[in-house]
């Protein structure tokens, strides 16, 4: 992907970065040769980003042209928002206090050049601020109040305001930044950039390391520059064309915020924020299935004052679920009224509503993987040994899982696949895993997952590398379609 640095006036721009083309802002905005460029990242270093200024229009038109502006318009707005500055100041509180503790005065200015400062002791703080407000040249102002440091403001630095003795450091920081973001094979520029969101510390991620490597290999085969990112890269999302989330999602969580931010920045996102919102709440899913007459186990949505309905309507044993439960966490089986009261009291501390569901024992659950409203793979997940769930979480913190086998879509029972498709199509056209139970010739939907497990040696047993390639091809198709719409 080509890199352009756009400045207000190249003649007065004091910094020359070797190997980087510098373009006048007016030429970028009006010259046809720039508007027709494809696969370009625009580093907007104009004097000002004020609303309707030349600098503002550079980022705005870059987004409209399908280029990748840094900073994007959202980042520009964030720098102006005192609410966002307070949020970031709170999030980085420990780092701010520890980094600025040696400062004697009550005010401090931090210059940030591509995420770095001349004083290496501020590098971590600079990097984190740059991740939130991704503008190449930043100036953060801090004040000490009641003994604690607060971020007062964050602003773009104009080239003319960079001290002469900082120039050499800025050039070095810029060169390092560009080097890190060049494709691994410089002789061949990638068509698009794909971010894969992972959490290295997650104990049960949706994809294991081997599966992630195969996703990356598939993406690179389709001419993507691919990068693994974490929650710390929130502000960098505008650098990419697509976001593929391989971390367990939740609404009150950074995965949802990153999906929302990426969608607002114009990225193709799997899982998209609407799918996360719908799938991660089982109260919503139960109502949706009932409305569309898709079979599910007998289910009640209960509040604390309606919990007696469980005894009279479902009986025991039954299943209690926290609405945002995943990987069997927040799901309990209760065998009698006293066990129900204990479990309900604990779960109602976390949610005002709970799901109560009849207990349907089966040796395994079906999982149908669906992408763009088409079945992709089918698995049988067997219950953990001597347990009623696929996963058993021991009091010591260990997790045990049952065996699994994978079938081709054509080998799976037709009714299982049909029912899964009907359920998933109510959510959207993303990547879903529909869990079902089959008993006495009937099929019941248990839940719809927006972030289905795809692990090496399990879900990929039938399709092998084609499974990873199919998902990345769909991301590519959506990016190409989006670019075509922009360029028409």
Q: In which region does residue 223 sit, left (phi positive, over 0), alpha (psi from -120 to 50) or beta (all else)?
A: left
| 208 CB-contact burial (10 Å; exposed 0-12 / middle 13-18 / buried 19+) | middle
What is the pLDDT at residue 91? Answer: 85
DSSP-assigned letter for residue 157: P
Say what the pLDDT of residue 454 is: 97
Say if CB 372 and CB 311 are below 8 A apart: no
**What is the signed CA dihedral for 291, 280, 420, 412, rounded to 10 degrees?**
-160
State the first-to-last Cα distance of the chain, in angstroms, to the nearest integer.
21
- What is the 3-state composition of the chain as percent helix, strand, coil, each rounded to the nearest 5? 40, 25, 35
pLDDT band at 84 (very low <50, low <70, confident <90, very high): confident
Strand partners, 268: 242
Give the pair of three-digit tokens for residue 184: 């691994």
Q: What are phi and psi of 208, to 5 degrees?
A: -80, 175
Spell out the SS3 assignment of 350-394: CCCCEEEEECCCCCEEEEEEEECCEEEEEEEEECCCCCCCCEEEC
pLDDT one-digit tens code per residue, 128-176: 899 888 888 999 999 999 999 999 999 999 888 889 999 999 989 888 8
Q: Which of 79-88, 101-110, 211-220, 455-464 has the lowest mean pLDDT?
A: 79-88
Sorted by where each starts, the structural domains of the chain and their CATH numbers stand as 2-76 (3.40.250), 77-166 (3.30.470), 192-279+473-487 (3.40.50.20), 298-358 (3.30.1490.20), 364-449 (3.30.470.20)
- Residue 109, pLDDT > 50, answer yes
Q: Are 435 and 367 in contact (CB under 8 A)?
A: yes
pLDDT tens track for 463-482: 999 999 999 999 999 999 98
Residues 136/113, Cβ–Cβ less than 8 Å = yes
Q: How far apart are CA 275 and CA 402, in angstroms?
A: 28
Structure confidence at residue 184 (pLDDT): 44
pLDDT tens digit string along 184-203?
444 456 889 999 999 999 98
DSSP 410: G
pLDDT at residue 185, as a whole number:
41
pLDDT at position 211 is: 97
Average pLDDT over residues 97-120: 94
Give pairs for 32-39: CB < 8 Å, separation 24+. Answer: 34/4, 35/61, 35/65, 37/2, 37/65, 37/67, 38/66, 38/483, 39/1, 39/2, 39/189, 39/190, 39/191, 39/192
Residue 286 has pLDDT above 60, yes or no: yes
pLDDT at 183 over 50: no
> Is the pLDDT confidence value at 337 over 90?
no
Q: What is the mean pLDDT of residues 248-262?
A: 90
Contact present, 142 and 151 (Cβ < 8 Å): yes
């Amino acid at each position: 992907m080509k890199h352009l640095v756009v400045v207000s006036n190249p003649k007065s721009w004091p910094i020359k970065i070797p190997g980087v083309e510098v373009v006048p802002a007016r030429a970028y905005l009006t010259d046809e040769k720039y508007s027709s460029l494809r696969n370009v990242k625009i580093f907007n270093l104009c004097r000002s980003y004020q609303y309707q200024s030349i600098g503002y229009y550079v980022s705005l038109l870059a987004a409209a042209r399908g280029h990748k502006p840094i900073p994007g318009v959202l980042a520009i707005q964030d720098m102006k928002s005192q609410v966002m500055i307070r949020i970031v100041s709170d999030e980085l509180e420990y780092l701010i206090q520890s980094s600025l503790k040696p400062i004697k005065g009550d005010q401090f200015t931090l210059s940030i050049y591509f995420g770095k400062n001349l004083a290496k002791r501020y590098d971590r703080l600079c990097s984190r601020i740059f991740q939130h407000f991704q503008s190449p040249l930043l100036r953060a102002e801090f004040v000490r109040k009641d003994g604690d440091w607060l971020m007062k403001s964050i602003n773009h630095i104009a080239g003319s305001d960079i001290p002469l003795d900082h120039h050499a450091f800025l050039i070095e920081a810029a060169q390092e930044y560009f080097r890190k973001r060049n494709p691994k094979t410089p002789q061949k520029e990638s068509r698009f950039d794909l971010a894969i969101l992972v959490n290295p510390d997650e104990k049960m991620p949706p994809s294991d390391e081997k599966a992630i490597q195969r996703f990356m290999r598939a993406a690179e085969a389709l001419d993507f520059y691919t990068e693994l990112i974490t929650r710390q890269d929130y502000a960098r999302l505008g650098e990419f064309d697509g976001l593929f989330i391989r971390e367990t999602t939740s609404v009150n969580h950074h995965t949802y915020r990153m999906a929302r931010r990426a969608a607002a920045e114009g990225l193709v996102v799997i899982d998209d924020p609407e799918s996360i919102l719908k799938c991660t709440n089982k109260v919503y899913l139960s109502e949706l299935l009932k409305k569309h007459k898709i079979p599910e186990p007998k289910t009640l949505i209960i509040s604390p004052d309606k919990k007696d309905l469980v005894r009279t309507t479902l009986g025991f044993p039954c299943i209690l679920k926290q609405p945002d439960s995943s990987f069997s966490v927040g799901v309990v089986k209760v065998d009698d009224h006293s066990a129900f009261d204990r479990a309900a009291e604990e779960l109602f501390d976390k949610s005002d509503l709970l799901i109560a569901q009849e207990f349907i024992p089966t040796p395994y659950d079906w999982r149908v993987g669906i992408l763009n409203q088409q079945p992709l793979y089918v698995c049988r997940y067997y219950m953990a040994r001597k347990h009623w769930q696929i996963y058993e979480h021991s009091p010591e913190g260990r997790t045990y899982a049952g065996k699994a086998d994978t079938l081709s879509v054509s080998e799976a029972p037709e009714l299982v696949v049909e029912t899964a498709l009907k359920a998933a199509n109510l959510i959207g056209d993303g990547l879903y895993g529909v869990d079902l139970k089959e008993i006495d010739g009937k099929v019941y939907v248990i839940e719809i997952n927006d972030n289905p497990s795809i692990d090496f040696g399990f879900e990929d047993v039938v399709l092998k590398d084609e499974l990873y390639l199919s998902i990345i091809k769909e991301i590519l198709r959506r990016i190409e379609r989006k670019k075509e719409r922009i360029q028409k």
